[in-house]
Amino acid sequence: RSLLLEHFNLDVEFRTLGSQQDQNFLATSHGSLEPLGVLKISNPAFSRLELELQEAVAERLAEDNPDVRVARVATLDGQRVEGWFDTTQGCLHLCLLDYIEGVTLTGGCYLAPSVIERMGELAGRVSRSLASMSHPGAARTLQWDLRHARRVVDEIGAANLSPRGGDTIARATDEAWQIVESLAAQLPRQLGHFDLTDDNLVGACGDSPTPDGIIDFGDVTDSWAIAELAVTISSMLHHDGVEPRSVLPAVKAFDAIRPLSDAEVTALWPLVVLRGATIVVSGQHQAVIDVNNEYVAASLDSDWRIFEQAASLPLDVMTGLFRHVLERPAAPLCDTSDYGRIMDLGSEKVVTLDAGTTSEVNDNGGWRDVNALERAALDSLDAGAATAVLPFNSIVLTGSPILSPTEPRTVTTETSIWSSTERTVLAPTAGEVRTLEDAIEFWFDDVVLRLSGARPATTESEVGEGRAIAVLRARSRVRIQLRAARSSAIPSLVSAGYAPGWLSVVADPARLLGLPESVAPRRSDLLERRGRVLARVQDHYYETPPQIERGWREHLIDVSGRVYLDMVNNVTSVGHAHPRIAAAASRQLRLLNTNSRFNYEAITTFAEKLVATLPKELDTVFLVNSGSEATDLAIRLAMAATDRRDIVAMCESYHGWTYASDAVSTSIADNPNALDTRPDWVHTVDAANSYRGRYRGEDARRYATEAVEQIEMLGAAGTAVAGFISESFFGNAGGVPFPDGYLAAVYGAIRAGGGLAIADEVQVGYGRLGHWFWGFEQQGVTPDIVTVAKSIGNGHPIGAVITSQAVAERFRSQGYFFSSTGGSPVSCVIASTVLDIIREERLQANAATVGTHLKQRLEALGVRHELIGAVHGSGLYLGVEFVQDRETLEPATAQTAAICSRLLELGVIMQPTGDHKNVLKIKPPLCIDQTSVDYFAEMLDRVLTEGW
């Protein structure tokens, strides 16, 4: 303090900051809380030339990257605030650095893919800026320079690690160093920051700060350029939710700015491992010699996490993954056409099995069980096939759908065969036979042919081409894998996200079997194709959505076999792929599906079942194709029955996309111009939202009073109202119930003026609320017209309008009504079956029981997480509303979107709703069980705890 006051006339106060080797302090002007800068007292081990190098690099980066904030030496009245001063510790360098406002990514917080991408981008920009720079201070030796990683681990690690930890680090270091050392001459060198880590990248304050600032130039040196990226990547690996493949966006971003050479791609992950090892041994060493350094002590666990993540996969697997994402595939493992066949299946009848997401190898009434693949193989043999084959690089999906925050292993790294007879396997060339406990391996030309499930055919170890090496048992599964000899054991199944890496160290054995090679799946271009032929405004969930091709109950399955929990699908009310619906639709399609104006039983049967669920006044049904059409027709019915044109609608509601249904839709989330473009025949009343609206709590009863006054004022002014339309439970806001008595008062006012009450039950009807089959029952009222869709067809397009015979007859003034496929035989059979399932499987009761349990779980989360403002709803129509402040109720819109994206990573399909898009819309299939809703609550808790 005295030095700064004496030399720079700065009266400052300090708060200590962490550092491994320097001393850092946050400086504020005396009596002020505003940061002035960061005071740095450099470790005396660093020379003046080295410190000048750091400052020169900071200046270069700031000049080249004006949009990036760089911690340079602060200037006051034209004078740089730095100097060398004699102290009791010797001559020390002191400087005041610019304060970079914001937060670092320090700690274990979740890193969104966009943040990881940005970290890689910044590393690339730094590397590009410093590539042509030189400085005499760069001739320094640092333990953090990865060129010295082997030496650091050998010299420091031996003295500071337990034998167990030391052995693990030594083995990983040896393997990584062998690769890097072999490539050293091909790795370009340059100046670099070499510490662009989560600790030294700064972003604006927020839930997921995107870094735009760089601090701490203490590790600037001349080293391998690729180490810049390796250091940045390593710092990601201890964060919640980050795994090795999470770093791929950073690799792509770096390469886009500063292209990686082939040698650098190969060296990258070994350098990440070496960085992890260096961090661990250096941290342990520093903890021993500086026992009071809390910063170092607190970092030890995360240091180990970095190393363990880096060493969790074979090096060549990660390299293969990098090559895949950069579209630079390596040469094939081997050319199998150079070798003889181990058996010849090509001349026989071979059945190729498909156990992927869209295959029909299934059982258990619509979903396959764990034995389905085996049965399919044996069935094909029984049907006359000589061999059944599950090809290399297939998707295998068997057993019940399992929810998991990580990808399951579904991609085969081998070929499986079932032979109808016993077969002999021949050596494809001269080589060595090794008989193991669970397999027979044949080693040749740096390649291993592994046969699991076969028995030995020879006791010799060295055999020539064409000699018998194994025997396949009849009707038994044998797995055949061809891997690189340098690789350790390769799993039979790997997850799709890592498959390109694993498949780079194995080869397709098809040619050795006399079969055509498997066609490698192309990168999916489905979104691109969709964009070419579908209107862009016909949007889809998520920016980069999974390709969903199968469903079962409350689960959705993508093409890679990843299972997602469907928490938004009130369209599929009784569950995906319900076998009774599939059977009913299939049977009816074989019989008849035609224009609904024909006379057939299905339409009458369904209509009878539907009106039986409603009050006796509602006895007449119109059938259409969708909820939008149902709303449109309901409005036309009201207009025809009253001979009027004006409609009253509730604000913040969505009713559909047709002309009339869109006209009464006032949700700005669905149409930002909804309020400005509303036609003159639509009049609105306030959204009766007792949580967020103008009136809350006890005052919420005023919504009904004011709505009644507005309706009466319209009548008094000569505007005769044809009807009032609203949801009967505020679904569009996330399941907010109306204040008690609201609909009774409004319906009364509408009817007193000669109008009709329309209840939109498209989202909230059909047992979803649990305690009531129809939403209007919660309010104790009976509407004049009810609209319903979504749920009634379980995904099949059918909607209905139910009213009285008297109202229906008035529609004759408009002519007559028909909908060609609304109420077709297939639609009606499906709709009838849905009602049967809801009743017989007691799905309304399930909605009440499971929904109550889920709501309690969510309310408990609200006690611990301030972001949760309220939990709305009933049964299986719930909403979790996120707010930035529980007093002001400022909506947490951006956070909600990010939370939904993070939930997708964890295997949960979730979307926002409401005018502010800050409410999770929770409306899963009614068959969902407690295990699944508990998984949802746990994943939401994880996201709110770890970040998004």
Question: Which of 620, 898, 925 lies closest to 786, judged by CA?
Answer: 620
How many angstroms separate the Cα of 213 from the Cα of each of 67, 122, 378? Answer: 9, 9, 62
Contact in structure between 451 and 494 (CB atoms under 8 Å): no
DSSP string, 267-293: HHHHHHHHHHHHHHHHHHHHHHH-TT-
* Average pLDDT over every residue of 917-932: 97
pLDDT average, residue stretch 793-820: 93
pLDDT (0 to 100) of residue 31: 79
CA distance to 346, 347, 711, per residue, from 389 (Å): 11, 14, 72
Q: Is-contact 428 440, C-beta < 8 A?
A: no
pLDDT of residue 156: 86
Sign of the C-alpha dihedral, residues 182, 187, 193, 195? Answer: negative
Per-residue burial over 748-781, b if 16 or more Cβ lie within 10 Å, else e, is bbbeebebbbbbbbbbbbbbbbbebbbbbbbbeb
Dihedral sign, Cα of residue 231, residue 234, residue 239, residue 240: positive
**From CA 790, how far away is CA 571, in angstroms rounded?**
4
Task: Give the chain's end-to-end CA distance (angstroms, integer).
Answer: 41
d(CA 797, CA 585): 13
pLDDT at 364 over 60: no
Element (H, E) at 859: helix 843-864
Helix (H) or strand (E) holding 872: strand 868-874
Q: How far apart are CA 511 and CA 263, in angstroms?
A: 31
| 526-542 residues labelled b (16+ CB within 10 A) or e (exposed) | eeeeeeeeeeeeeeeee
Please report the pLDDT score of residue 117 as a whole number.
97
Tokens of 771: 């305690």
- The per-residue pLDDT for range 35-54, each reduced to its tens digit, is 889 999 998 888 899 999 99
Supply 25's token pair: 């302090």
The model's pTM is: 0.93
CA 768/CA 519 separation, integer angstroms: 45
Residue 291 pLDDT class (50, 70, 90 cuts) = confident
Query: Could you say which DSSP state residue 98 is in?
Result: P
28's tokens: 């504020």
Taking all residues of the chain, what is their mean pLDDT, rounded to a whole number?
93
Question: Which pLDDT belongs to residue 566?
Answer: 98
**162 pLDDT higher than 70:** no
d(CA 61, CA 192) in angstroms, rounded, equals: 10
pLDDT at residue 122, rounded to an integer = 98
- What single letter denotes the amino acid at residue 147? R
Q: Distance between CA 766 and CA 793 in Å, rounded?
A: 11
Helix, strand, coil share (%) of the chain residues, nearest 5:
40, 20, 40
| pLDDT confidence of residue 423 | 94
User: What's the pLDDT score for residue 366?
Assistant: 65
Query: Which ranges in 237-371 belong to alpha helices (H)?
Result: 248-257, 262-289, 294-310, 315-325
The first and second tokens of residue 418, run together, are 């079932």
Strand order in the sheet with 12-17: 12-17, 23-29, 35-41, 90-97, 82-87
Give ∠ CA 137-141-145 in degrees, rounded to 5: 105
For the chain, percent of residues with pLDDT exceeding 70 = 98
Tokens of 50: 């080295």
Alpha-carbon distance of 67 to 63, in angstroms, equals: 10
The SS3 of residue 486 is: coil
Strand, helix or coil for residue 868: strand
Please answer whether residues 474 and 421 qualify as being in contact, where contact means their C-beta atoms are separated by less than 8 angstroms: yes
CB 236, CB 254: distance < 8 Å: no
Neighbours of 4 (CB within 10 A): 19
Question: Chain centroid to CA 806: how far?
Answer: 51
DSSP 397-446: --SS----SS--EEEESSEEEEESS-EEEE-SSSEEEEE-SSEEEEEETT
Helix axes 315-325, 163-183, angle to 10 degrees: 50
Half-sphere exposure of 118 (CA within 13 A, CB side): 18
Determine the Cα–Cα distance for residues 830 and 578; give it in Å rounded to an integer: 11
pLDDT in tens, 173-182: 999 999 999 9
Q: What is the pLDDT averaged over residues 892-899? A: 95
Nearest to 421 by CA among 347, 343, 477, 474: 474
Residue carrying the six token digits 């034995």: 371
Position 299 confidence tier, pLDDT thresholds 50, 70, 90:
confident
- The CA distances from residue 306 to 103, 122, 243, 312, in Å, are 21, 21, 10, 10
Closest CA relative to residue 116, chosen from 37, 17, 201, 42: 201
Determine the average pLDDT of the residues in 708-714.
97
Which pLDDT score is estimated for 21?
Answer: 78
Burial of 86 (0-12, 13-18, 19+ CB in 10 A): exposed
Closest-CA residue to 664 (of 501, 528, 785): 785
Q: Which of 82-91, 813-822, 928-937 has the highest mean pLDDT?
A: 928-937
pLDDT of 537 > 90? The answer is: no
Confidence band of 801 (pLDDT split at 50, 70, 90): very high
* Cα(235)–Cα(219) distance, integer angstroms: 15
pLDDT digits 0-9 by tens, 436-481:
998 999 999 999 999 999 999 999 999 999 999 999 999 999 999 9
Q: Can you tell me whether residue 355 is helix, strand or coil? A: strand
Lowest mean pLDDT segment, chosen from 327-341, 669-683, 702-716, 726-740: 669-683
pLDDT of residue 513: 95
* Separation of alpha carbons 684 and 674, rounded Å: 12
The pair phi, psi for residue 104, each rounded to 5°, is -90, 180
Element (H, E) at 683: strand 682-685
What's the mean pLDDT in 80-84? 92
pLDDT, position 160:
65
Find the length of the chain: 948
Distance CA 353, CA 817 (A): 50
Residue 362 has pLDDT above 60, yes or no: no
* Cβ atoms within 10 Å of 332's Cβ, excluding its own: 10
The answer to whether 828 and 623 have CB atoms below 8 angstroms apart is yes
CA–CA separation, 893 and 917 (whole Å): 6
* Per-residue pLDDT, 76: 85
Instruction: Give the confidence band of 816 by pLDDT, cuts at 50, 70, 90.
Output: confident
Helices (H) and strands (E) in the chain, counts: 25, 42
pLDDT surpasses 90 at 426: yes
Distance CA 719, CA 645 (A): 9
Q: For residue range 624-643, list pLDDT tens digits in order.
A: 999 999 999 999 999 999 99
Q: Burial level of 814, CB count in 10 A (0-12/13-18/19+)?
A: exposed
Residue 331 has pLDDT above 60, yes or no: yes
Distance CA 724, CA 706 (A): 14
Neighbouring C-beta atoms of residue 468, cutoff 10 Å: 15
Residue 330 clears pLDDT 90, i.e. is over it = no
